[in-house]
Amino acid sequence: MTERAATEAGPQGLASLLMDTGALISDWLPAYRAVLRESFVPDVIWPGVGTADGGPVAGIDRRTDPRGWFRAVYSDTSLTTQWDDGDHTGPGRGTIPTCSNSQPAMVFSMLAALDVQPGSKVLEVGTGTGWNAALLSERVGSENVTTIEFDPENAATARARLDAAGYNPVAVVGDGSQGWQACAPYDRVLITASLREIPAEIIRQTRPGGIVVTPYATEYGGEAVVRLTVEGDGSASGPFVGSSAFMRLRQHRVHRSHLKEYLGGKPWPADGRRTATSLSPADVADWLPMFAIGLQTREMFPYPEKLDGGCYTLWLRDTRVTSWASIDFVPGAEEFEVRQSGPRELWSELRAAHAWWDDQGRPGFERFGLTVSPDGTPWAWLDSPEHPVPYVG
C-alpha cells in the first residue's frame, strides 16, 4: 500500500475540510494543489504540539510509520519539527518546540488576510520548513518573494525543499525582526512567529498602503493575528482577525526570574497582604480573557502552579521583580484567598481589566484592533481607533 492510499483524506480531503471551514479560499486553491504539504515536512514530526505542554512524547517517523506520518501531514494540525533550537536530537520530544509546519487552517487564514495581488512583493519572516514561502512563490512568483530565517539549519533544509519543488525565492539567514532592506519596499509582509511588539523596521520597509499580517502576543498572555495597513506617515493600524498560538520570534523571547527572587528568600506567603476575591482564577484562564487583560496591563505575567485534587495557585509577577500575587483556586469555592506584595497590587489590576472586558460584553478577538504610531508606540482599541482600550495600574 502506498503512503497516499494509507488514508482516505490526503490532500483533497484536507482541502475540502479547509474550504468547508472558510480557511482556504478559492484564490489560494491552485497554490494549495501545486504545493504539496508533504514536500515540506521532515521525516520526524510531533503532531499537535504547540507552545503549551501537551501532545505525544514520541514523534512520528515516516521511515517506520509511513501511514501515521502521512495521516498527520494531511490533518489540520500543526507539526512540530524542531525542539530546543536544534539542541535536542532523537525521536523523543524535547523541552521547548522551536520550529513547526503550521496548522493548515492558520496558514491559509493568514494568507487570505494578507490579500496578495499579482506581482505583489512579499516578505516572509520565519521560513520554517519552507511551505509558506513555496505557496507565496506559486501565487506571485519566486522573484517577488523574500523569506528570512534565523536558524541556519532550518534555513538550509527549507532551501533544499524549495529547490526540489522548483521555487527560488530570495532566502536569507538573519534576524527577521529587522526585515530585509535589500529587497524592500514590500507590498505585503507575513510574519509566522509571535511578536511582543511590532518591529519599526518592518513597518519602514512596507510601502504605504501595504499590509503586515502577524501574530501579536501580550505580555500577560493570549495572542491573536493582526492585519495592519501601513499609512503614509509611517504608522500602521488594523483589526485582529482571529486567535493564534505561535512560537515566539527568537528575538522576542523573554527570561523570567524565579519566584524565590520575588519572595526575597522567604517562604510563601512572605510579606504578602491577605485578601479574598469572588473572581475565580478559572474565569481568567482562557485565551480570550487573557488577551483582553494583556491589552490593558503592562509588565505582568501569570504562572499556574498545579496542586493536588484539582487545586492550583495562580501566580502573578511583574517583569521588574518588584511585585507578586498569589490566588489559590479550590474547586467549588465561592471565595479565593489572595496574597499581594510589592508596590503594585497585581490581582487588583487584573480584576479591573477583567471587569472592563466584562462591561463591554466580553468582546471577542475580532472586535479589537491595534495601531502603531510612527515612533513605534502601540495602542489597542475596541471596534475603532477612536475607542482606545484603557490601561490599568
| Tens digit of each residue's pLDDT (9 = 90 or more) over 24-40 | 999 999 999 999 999 99
What cell numbers appear for 271 in the block? 510579606
DSSP strand pairing (186-191 vs 122-125): parallel
pTM: 0.92
The reported pLDDT for the residue numbered 5 is 37
Q: Which helix (H) or strand (E) segment is 69 a member of?
A: helix 66-73
Query: Could you give all domains of the chain from N- to C-terminal order, each with its CATH number?
Result: 4-243 (3.40.50.150), 259-359 (3.30.160.690)
Which backbone phi and psi does 275 adopt, to 5 degrees?
Answer: -140, -175
| Residue 17, burial from CB neighbour count under 10 angstroms (0-12, 13-18, 19+) | middle
pLDDT at 56: 47
Distance CA 219, CA 116 (A): 30
* Residues noted as catalytic: 102
Residue 48, classed as helix, strand or coil, is coil
Please compute the mean of the pLDDT values over residues 186-193 and round it to a whole number.
Answer: 96
pLDDT band at 92 (very low <50, low <70, confident <90, very high): low
78: left (phi over 0), alpha (psi -120 to 50) or beta: beta
Q: Tell me if residue 320 falls in helix, strand or coil.
A: coil
Task: Confirm if 171 and 159 have CB atoms less than 8 A apart.
Answer: yes
User: What was the pLDDT predicted at 79?
Assistant: 94
Mean pLDDT score of the chain, rounded to an integer?
Answer: 91
| Separation of first and last alpha carbons in the chain | 62
Instruction: Work out the pLDDT band at 362, boundaries 50, 70, 90.
Output: very high
